[in-house]
Amino acid sequence: MDARLNYLASPTAGPILKHFMAAGRGLKASALPAATQELVALRVSQINGCAVCVDMHTKDAAAAGETALRLNLVAVWREATVFTEAERAALELAEQGTRVADGAGGVGDEAWARAAEHYDEEQLTALVLLVSFMNAVNRLNIIARQPAGDYQPGQFH
């Protein structure tokens, strides 16, 4: 499968995406734990059906030492015992923040309160920005049908 668009070669998209991807790199340096960032990025991408992002975040997380068991269970995190309470709270917030069109209200007060039990304001800010960023990146890739499978860990860092 070939991508519909080559964003990086585009005189319009190329310069804009350089700044956009710099924002993503900025999130990597945030106070939100790196493992949580990868789990959240993977879960948001799974929900949205973004194959290239699932490929990327699975490989980057594995390269950073994440276990295959945890990566395989992200899609069913509610029933899995391998995630911390903090990670579970982040995954719940990420799901509700991604599925805003599926129900009125967006992220519920209970999900927010659970996340706030485990993350300080700066970490919550990073979590919200990460969920929003991943949703935007997923849409860019899905619309252009970016193919998955060839990503090498760290390729875009």
**Residue 24 to residue 62: CA distance in whole angstroms:** 19
35-85 pLDDT, tens digit per residue, is 999 999 999 999 999 999 999 999 999 999 999 999 999 999 999 999 999
Please say if the pLDDT value at position 103 is more than 80. no
Residue 22 CA to residue 29 CA, distance in Å, equals: 11
Which among 112, 150, 142 has a CA at the least distance from the CA of 46?
142
Q: Is the confidence at residue 156, as pLDDT, over 80?
A: no
Q: Which amino acid is present at 96?
A: Q
CA angle 147, 149, 150 (to 5 degrees): 95
pLDDT tens-digit series, residues 117-146:
999 999 999 999 999 999 999 999 999 998
In the chain, domain spans: 32-143
Residue 105 has pLDDT above 90, yes or no: no
Q: Which pTM was predicted?
A: 0.92
User: 32-143 belongs to which CATH class?
Assistant: mainly alpha
Position 151 pLDDT exceeds 80: no
